[in-house]
Amino acid sequence: MAIRMIVKEPDEVLHKRAKEVQVLTPNVKKLLNDMRDTMYDAEGVGLAAPQVGILKRLIVIDADDEHGLIQMINPEIISMEGEQLGAEGCLSIPGLNGDVRRAETVTVRGLNREGEEIMITGSGLLARAFQHEIDHLNGVLFTDIAEKVYEYTAERDESEE
């Protein structure tokens, strides 16, 4: 188990486009494991490689019980349906949340950690997490697209439930 340091805004790496993974090496698998451990340690639901300072197109997400842990290489959204508006936060921008408009359902295609092509369709929080993490791969932060940004407080979080 290796916990990596999470890069914080305004670090430049968060604003750059990540490069596709060309070859699935043991180092790529180790990075996916480290990202998983880092995400769980930080109590997040998703993490993209740029958030640990690596400009590779890798994401990890654990946003629902149906799919469990998703580790994806070179993910791309291939379809989007519906719309949702909701609060988002980010491990790279502690203390801030924002209201972000996203697709309600997305289908994402990429490779799993064994190099096999996979497609996953998710709605709600999983769809939001996919869009948020793939935005990270393109150098986009939720604060760039939020309709409103505000300080995170536990009281506000409880009042929204």
The letter for the amino acid at 99 is: D
Spatial separation of the C-alpha atoms in residues 101 and 146, rounded to whole Å = 7
Q: Encode 76-115: b = buried (16+ Cβ within 10 Å), e = exposed.
A: eeeebeeebeebbbbbbbeebbbebebbebbbbebbebee
Which residues, at least 6 apart from 51, have a Cβ–Cβ distance to it below 8 Å? 6, 7, 14, 91, 92, 136
Residues 133, 147, 155, 160: which is the catalytic one?
133
Residues 85 and 128: beta-carbon distance below 8 Å: no
Catalytic residue at 158? no
Annotated binding residue at 132?
yes
Annotated binding residue at 67?
no
Spatial separation of the C-alpha atoms in residues 36 and 42, rounded to whole Å = 10
Of 63, 68, 72, 79, the closest CA to residue 124 belongs to 63
- Residues of each annotated binding site: 90, 132, 136
- Residues of each annotated binding site for Fe cation: 90, 132, 136
Catalytic residue numbers, as ranges: 133
